[in-house]
Amino acid sequence: MKLHEYEAKNIFKSYGIPISEGYVTSGEIKEIKKPVVIKAQVLVGGRGKSGGILFANTLEETTEKIKELLNKEIKGEKVEKVLVEEKLPIKKEYYLGIVIDRKEKKPLILFSTEGGVDIEEVAQKNPEKIVKYYMDPQKEFLPYLARNMLKKINIPSKEIPKVADIIYKLYKVFKEMDGILVEINPLVITEDGRVLAADGVLNVDDDAHHRHDYSKFEEFDRRNNFEFAYVKLNGNIGVIGNGAGLTLASMDIVKEYGGDPACFLDIGGGADERVVRKAIEKILENKNVDGIFINILAGITRCDEVAKGIVEALKRHPKVKFSVRMMGTNEKEGREILIENNIPFEKSMEDAAKKLVEMVKDY
């Protein structure tokens, strides 16, 4: 999973890596103390080149540019938040990154005096400007290793302690967060001698989710929204199934009883309450929808989770009509939840489809 720049930087900061003063917003700001840089929070690289980084000197200008960015798409990604930070007086841009090297099966630490550009490009054109260090993951990464790395490349010796300290701390972030990629590009030396992370990338390993609470990161929610497959159609009856085959069959039955499907929505296997609710809400974004037919053959999916999802959706959209058929895992528990909440439940999918078609007829 990818973290946004502001999320990555917050983590960097908690490990003692210097970042510039700023805050994230999706609206108005009240004051600026110094000239600022306004940065679109999107999960694509090269925002600078795609117009995702703007500068402003006054509050008025800042407000204007925030709006401009919030109305933009950067490489196809809608901008929902921007990061407003002190504009750094940059003297020099370095590159620092740590990745898992698949071949060596080790973390690879990369540092380059050519920052602010793609590291692949530097690797092609000026490979001598990159130092690499393969880290033994069983061992501790000590600050002297970072200093030794920097001695192999052309940077002023007075910068070495501060930069080495950042490398040391960034490795800690990488290890403790179960990173698969972490990057500071550029790592900046300012005119007034500060060394800070001007950008931040942190991609974490999804397989390590049990060790962390990744749900606090923005991408977590957005991903869960995409845990179902949705295709919008022209009718007024939403159709939800689990598995593409069952969902298609459910649409056919709706048509057989004279109804017109508003969508194909497959919640897949193992959808929980939240995914079910989100799926229903996705369907309800289409204002033509009068009712939803839900057809579940529960295996990994649990009928009680599906029922809870329907109940949660109904709390938010009390007028929507449902007709449900579900069989399999936790069927009894699921049915009880539906009955308690007066949600029509049928034993066969034919009956459930027919019932819904009748319910929405007078609409």
Q: For residue 40, what are the CA distances in angstroms to 66, 198, 217?
A: 9, 14, 17
Please say whether the beta carbons of 301 and 270 come within 8 A. yes
CB of 115 to ligand GDP, least distance (A): 7
Please say whether the beta carbons of 306 and 280 come within 8 A. no
The residue among 88 and 326 lying less far from ligand GDP, judged by its C-beta, is 88
What does the binding site for ligand GDP look like in residue numbers (CB under 6 A)? 37, 39, 45-48, 53, 87-88, 90, 93, 116, 185-186, 198-199
CB of 89 to ligand GDP, least distance (A): 7
CB of 124 to Mn ion, least distance (A): 18
Q: Of 113, 123, 111, 120, which Cα lies nearest the Cα of 92?
A: 113
The residue among 196 and 262 lying less far from ligand GDP, judged by its C-beta, is 196
Q: Which one of ligand GDP, Mn ion, none interacts with residue 7, CB within 5 to 8 A by kind?
A: none
Q: Which one of ligand GDP, Mn ion, none interacts with residue 87, CB within 5 to 8 A by kind?
A: ligand GDP
* Phi and psi angles of residue 201, each rounded to the nearest 5 degrees, phi first: -125, 135
> Which two tokens mark 254?
């709706």
Contact with Mn ion (CB under 5 A) among 5, 7, 85, 199: 199
The residue among 97 and 235 lying less far from Mn ion, judged by its C-beta, is 97
Q: Which residues of 17-43 are buried (b: 16+ CB within 10 A; e: fewer)?
A: bbbbebebbeeeeeebeeebbbbbbbb
Q: Which one of ligand GDP, Mn ion, none interacts with residue 155, CB within 5 to 8 A by kind?
A: none
Give the DSSP letter of residue 264. E
Residues annotated catalytic, as ranges: 95, 183
The residue among 109 and 198 lying less far from ligand GDP, judged by its C-beta, is 198
Please say whether the beta carbons of 2 and 43 come within 8 A. yes
Helix 244-256 with 349-361: angle, nearest 10 deg: 50
The residue among 59 and 208 lying less far from ligand GDP, judged by its C-beta, is 59
Interatomic CA distance for residues 198 and 338, integer angstroms: 52
Interatomic CA distance for residues 239 and 273, integer angstroms: 17
CB of 36 to ligand GDP, least distance (A): 8
CB of 151 to Mn ion, least distance (A): 26
Q: Which one of ligand GDP, Mn ion, none interacts with residue 32, CB within 5 to 8 A by kind?
A: none
CB of 285 to ligand GDP, least distance (A): 31
Q: For residue 219, what are the CA distances in angstroms to 14, 48, 58, 281?
A: 20, 21, 32, 19
Q: Of 248, 243, 242, 245, which Cα lies nearest the Cα of 263?
A: 248
The residue among 198 and 254 lying less far from ligand GDP, judged by its C-beta, is 198
Q: Of 280, 129, 109, 271, which Cα lies nearest the Cα of 179?
A: 109
Q: Which one of Mn ion, ligand GDP, none interacts with residue 119, CB within 5 to 8 A by kind?
A: none
Q: Which one of Mn ion, ligand GDP, none interacts with residue 253, CB within 5 to 8 A by kind?
A: none
Of 167-196, binders to Mn ion (CB under 5 A) are 185
Interatomic CA distance for residues 97 and 79, integer angstroms: 25
Q: Does 85 bind Mn ion (CB under 5 A)?
A: no
CB of 116 to ligand GDP, least distance (A): 3
SS3 of residue 288 by DSSP: coil
Residue nearest Mn ion (C-beta atom)? 199
Q: Which one of ligand GDP, Mn ion, none interacts with residue 46, CB within 5 to 8 A by kind?
A: ligand GDP
- Cis peptide, bond prior to residue 186, ω within 30 of zero: yes
Count of residues of this chain found to bind Mn ion when the rule CB under 5 A is applied: 2
The residue among 74 and 263 lying less far from ligand GDP, judged by its C-beta, is 74
| Contact footprint for Mn ion (CB under 5 A) | 185, 199
